[in-house]
Structure 1
Amino acid sequence: MAEHYDIIVIGGGPGGYTAALKAAGLGIKTAIVEKEKLGGTCINKGCIPTKALLHASSIFQALQNSDEFGVSTDFISFDFKKMQNYKKRSVKAYRKEVEELVKAAGVTVIWGTATIRRGRTVEVNGPGGKDYYEADHIIIATGARPVMLKIPGEDLPGVLTSDRLLASDTWNYDRLTIIGGGVIGVEFATIFSALCSHVTILESEAHLLGPMDSEVSQALEEELRRKGITIHCKAKVKEIREESNQGLVCVFEVNGEEQTVRSGQVLMAAGRAPCLEGLMGQDVDLKMEHGHLKVDSEFRTSEPGIYAIGDVAAHTKLAHVAAAQGTYVVEKIGGVGHTIRLSVVPNGMFVKLPVVPSCIYTEPEIASVGLTREAARACSMKVSCGRYSMSGNGKSIITREQNGFIHLVFEEYSGTLVGAQIVCPRATDMISEMATAIANGLTAEQLMLAMRAHPTYSEGIGAAIENYFETKGETKQ
């Protein structure tokens, strides 16, 4: 007889293990099915290893400019293999923390590949063979994987995904071409540019970072170009070919004109696709939409009792989104009040505001939450904005990192904060204040009540609010 669980979570990434931990905390009998390692892409092949390399490369870059701060160095070099070992230690330490949390919570971990059968039965092909489990509820959290563009040459040895690049121990990146100017592309460009690689980004859209605020995208593009990164937007890659003594050659077209760029390696960073291989048995048919599992506002799939969270269902592929959705679903199943908000509709408004922060770990960092000015106006919302250039911020002057700004978007009549875009060091930490403000419907006046320490980057938030009042012809006393 198949062992029974209240909830079976398929996938042990941030969405999966967060859901399992929440369920265990509510006294719900829970199991996770995982085919590789707990932590999923985020810990093992994504967020954590990438940010570890960003940190290591930023130290090397800072040392190259240390003389300005009175710090002299006779010789500076880096060892890419040691950097990768540091990254691996960071990943291992984080994964161990997750493993200990799951064990302490009493969550059962079932190792193997899961296939959903009718009647909410889960077939698991593991090291010991095939086993079957039953559940009242199934939460699919299988995540996504890198995709390769279907173009001639995409299977050449030097054409890599982010997974393969992160696993590399040897340096062969003096010249790197990155296909894709989204979050993954610009973060890897930042890493390898800091390590003195000549980096070229080929982006098919009109600007980097796709749906990000155009002003933010422009600021990032200017900064990347200043660092020596070559950027081609509206670039359609037609072919990758290998030429003797030339390495790899990317052939692309911009405005009808064919161009080429040569490099030792090519990184495919053109997106990710949901991991669905083997997930559904012949007796289960979950509806799809635009290549993702189709879910409703409660993350329910087309099959009763089966939910899908994170990258396998969401178009916003962020670890904290998956974790929030996992918490939401378990709280719904457990019949308890929700402790997290994914969106809000402030009093007196008819527009749903997203409260999920988006973070990009370039230099300077980029973070946003809520609506941009353009998005607000597209929803027929009248807004006023407050803006501050970080060039005059005390902490920015000290650190010589003055290329950035803070842009706050307020609803015209109530002064309620509806969006924020921050470009500066520590932006990814500062955005949490803005997310909290939007989630609680705070106004400009209420935000001004909080004192911000000096000297900090966060003082720029207060200055942006002051600018909002000045723009409206008011003076905040």
Structure 2
Amino acid sequence: MATYYDLVIIGAGPGGYTAAIKGASFGMKVAVVDENKLGGICINRGCIPTKALLHASNIFSMMQHGDEFGVSTDFISFDFAKMQDYKKRSVRRYRGEIQKLFDKNNITFIKGKATIRREKTIEVVGENGKEYLRAKNIIIATGAKPIMPNIPGINLPGVINSDRLLAVPTWNYDRIVIMGGGVIGVEFATIFQALCSKVTIVEKGPHLLGPMDEEVSEALKEQLVKKGITVYCNAMVEEIQREEGLVCTVRHLLTDETTQIKTNQVVVAVGRTPYTEGLLGEDMSLQMEHGRPVVNADFETSEPGIYAIGDVSAKTQLAHVAMAQATYVIENLAGKPHTIRLEAVPNGMFVSLPIVPSCIYTEPEIATVGLTEAKAGELGMKVRCGVYDMGENGKSIIAREEHGFIRLIFEAYSNTIVGAQMMCPRATDMIGEMATAIANGLTAEQLSLAMRAHPTYSEGIAAAIEDAMRQNEK
């Protein structure tokens, strides 16, 4: 006998739990099914634990330079096991807050493996055996899993993916090779460099951070190298061998030369692929493309009443994208007006602007939203850029964090903001203002009306706006 729900969500990550809480707030009877703990990869093995370790390692790094601020100590060290314990406590606290919302909204959480059968029946195999659920609507939010490339030595001890790295309790990272120079790779490089590891990043593409603005990625590379991190772009690890530790053979793709790198650990961070294993029963099929369920503009799959959101279907794999898509789907199902947008078309413009912020928690932080100058040019848009060097910012001088910049992109005729790239302290906090501005089609003049406190990093935004407006006067 199947238990009936208005909504069954498969996956308890940010997309899944957001959909559940939002759906329950509209009076839906909701169940969430996940093989693992509430919170999904993001809370348990991704965003939250990574940022916790970034915070802890940054404190250690800052203490090493405390004498510059008149703060000194005889001995500074770190305990990696205690850092991991701090990380776990942060994760448990965050997961507990989600559980409170589930309890408050009477959301059923079932731990088990979910398989979709015909007629919107979900078979769940879990701790209590097998049970069946029926649903008016189903949301697939199963996320993604790390890609492990098929190269010799990939299964050797000491070769781990990003999920496993965050769970290791003991220190064995004096030397570390990171395969992949995307967001995950550079954030891990930041953590372990701060903890005095000898870090090497090997990136197959021509620059770090993949599709990110090239000027931003080159500026980041410069900072990483300055800190002692070795960066190989246009290169790939083609073999891993065990010889008194591990030895990576790195092939340089432009010259075909090879380099041998000795290391304690190899971290594989070459990307993630949609997780759909066991999702569909033999009596059920969905249109798939490159391993992803195909969805329409409303995130509905080829089967009416079944939706897919987040990393399992989205090209942009970000937790806040999954949460935004979840909100959109639930508001649609409930017949409510939409409270969130993923794109905006400002008045008088013909280009749809992406308003999803991308944030990278390196040192310094990187955050972008909207169009880059190069992308605007590809779209035939004439733009004006306002740039500010954060070395001149008062707060940056006080904190001795004087490297970085803020660049704002404005459409040349209307002065409407269409993009922002920031590389500076607190960039990930400040980018929200720029996303709001793009979503509402604000102009440089309108943005300049807002008073920004002194001394703050956000004064750099005002200075970049002024720089763009000065160009308009010429």
Q: State whether TM-score is above 0.5.
A: yes
**Separation (CA, whole Å) in 2 of partners of 1:376 and 1:334:** 37
SS in 1 for 2:346: coil
Please identify runs of 4+ aligned residues in structure 1 that moved more than 4 A: none
Which moved further from structure 2: 257-266 or 167-176? 257-266
Counterpart position of 1:395: 395
The answer (yes or no) to whether the contact 2:310–2:323 under 8 Å persists in 1 is yes
Give the conservation status (yes or no) of the 8 Å contact 2:5–2:31.
yes
Structure 2 distance, partners of 1:249, 1:316, is 30
> Which residue identity lines up with residue 137 of structure 1 in the other structure?
N
Q: Which moved more, 1:245-254 or 1:397-406?
A: 245-254
Q: Provide the residue aligned with 1:369 in structure 2.
A: 369
Pairwise CA distance, 1:31: 0.9
Describe the SS at the equivalent of 2:262. strand
TM-score, structure 1 as length reference? 0.98
Whether the aligned pair in 1 keeps the contact of 2:249 and 2:260 (CA below 8 Å) is yes
* 1:464 is the counterpart of 2:457: no
Cross-structure match for 2:31: 31
1:294 paired residue number: 294
Tell me, in whole angstroms, the C-alpha distance in 2 between the residues paired with 1:65 and 1:319: 34
Code of the residue aligned with 2:53 in structure 1: it is L
1:173 Cα deviation (Å)?
0.3
1:140 paired residue number: 140
1:342 aligns with 2:342: yes
Deviations 1:325-372 (A, max 9, x none): 000000001110001111111111111111111000000000000111
Letter in 1 for 2:64: Q
CA displacement, residues 236-277 of structure 1 (integer Å, 9 cap, x when unaligned): 22111111x253333323421112211010000000111111
Residue 291 of structure 1, CA deviation: 2.5
Residue 86 of structure 1: SS of its match in structure 2? helix
Report the residue type matching 1:387 in the other structure. Answer: V
1:293, CA displacement in angstroms? 1.6
Deviates more, 1:253-262 or 1:458-467: 253-262
Q: CA deviation at 1:188?
A: 0.2
Is residue 237–residue 253 contact of structure 1 (8 Å, CA) maintained in 2?
Answer: no
- The offset of 1:439, in angstroms, is 0.7
Q: Give 1:323's aligned residue.
A: 323
Deviates more, 1:125-134 or 1:204-213: 125-134
The answer for the alignment partner of 1:113 in structure 2 is 113
CA distance in 2, matches of 1:430, 1:251: 38
Query: Matched residues in 1 for 2:246 and 2:360: separation?
Result: 31
Query: Please, which moves more after superposition, 18-27 or 247-256?
Result: 247-256
Aligned to 2:3: 3
Specify the SS of the correspondent of 2:368: strand
List runs of 5+ in structure 2 lacking aligned partners.
Answer: none
CA distance in 1, matches of 2:14, 2:177: 30
* Aligned counterpart, 2:248: 249
Separation in structure 2 between the aligned mates of residue 182 and residue 98 of structure 1, nearest angstrom: 29
Partner of 1:360: 360
Aligned length: 473
Secondary structure of the 1:236 match is: strand
Mapped pair 1:449 → 2:449 = yes
**Mean Cα deviation higher: 456-465 or 281-290:** 281-290
Q: Write the distance in 1 (CA, Å) between the matches of 2:128 and 2:252.
A: 52
Contact residue 239 and residue 252 of structure 1 kept, 8 A: no
Describe how 1:184-195 pairs up with structure 2 within 5 A: 184-195=184-195
CA distance in 2, matches of 1:178, 1:361: 17
- Distance in structure 2 (CA, Å) of the matches to 1:160 and 1:248: 14
- Tell me the alpha carbon deviations over residues 397-440 of structure 1, each in whole angstroms, 9 at most, x when there is no partner: 00010110000011111111110000000000000000000111
Query: Residue 178 of structure 1 aligns to which amino acid in structure 2?
Result: I
Match of 1:332 in 2: 332
Paired letter, 2:276: L
State the match for 2:125 in structure 1.
125
Q: Is the 8 A contact 1:9 1:31 kept in 2?
A: yes
Does residue 14 of structure 1 match 2:14? yes
CA displacement, residues 89-109 of structure 1 (integer Å, 9 cap, x when unaligned):
000000000011111011111
Secondary structure of the equivalent of 1:149? coil
Q: Secondary structure at the match of 1:119?
A: helix
Q: 1:80 to 1:99 in 2, by over 3 A?
A: same
Other-structure match for 1:41: 41
CA separation in 1, counterparts of 2:84 and 2:47? 14
* CA-atom RMSD in angstroms: 0.9
> Is 1:211 the equivalent of 2:186?
no
Contact 1:344 1:354 in 2 (8 A): yes
CA contact under 8 A between 1:238 and 1:253: conserved in structure 2? no
Letter in 2 for 1:179: M
Instruction: Indicate the larger mover: 363-372 or 282-291.
Output: 282-291
Residues 129-169 of structure 1: CA distance to partner in whole angstroms, max 9, x if unpaired?
A: 11111111100000111111111110001101111111111
Instruction: For 2:108 and 2:335, locate their aligned partners in 1 and report how far apart those are by CA, in whole Å.
Output: 22
Q: Distance in 2 between matches of 1:315 and 1:73?
A: 48
Residues 223-242 of structure 1 mapped to structure 2, 5 A cutoff: 223-242=223-242
> 2:249, 2:258 within 8 Å by CA — same for their partners in 1?
no
> Percent of counterpart pairs with the same letter?
64
Of stretches 388-397 and 347-356 in structure 1, the one that deviates more from structure 2 is 347-356
Q: Kindly provide the amino acid, as one letter, of the partner of residue 169 in structure 2.
A: D
- Structure 1 portions without partners, runs of 5+: none
Residue 265 of structure 2 is matched in structure 1 by: 265
Q: Which amino acid aligns with 1:44?
A: N
SS at 2:133 equivalent: strand
- Which residue does 2:424 correspond to in 1? 424
CA contact (8 A) 1:248 1:265 kept: no
- Partner Cα separation in structure 2 for residue 246 and residue 179 of structure 1: 17
CA–CA separation in structure 1 for the residues paired with 2:111 and 2:74: 51
Distance across 1 between alignment mates of 2:187 and 2:342: 26
Does residue 438 (structure 1) correspond to residue 438 (structure 2)? The answer is yes
Q: Give the distance between the partners of 2:196 and 2:237, measured in 1 at CA.
A: 25
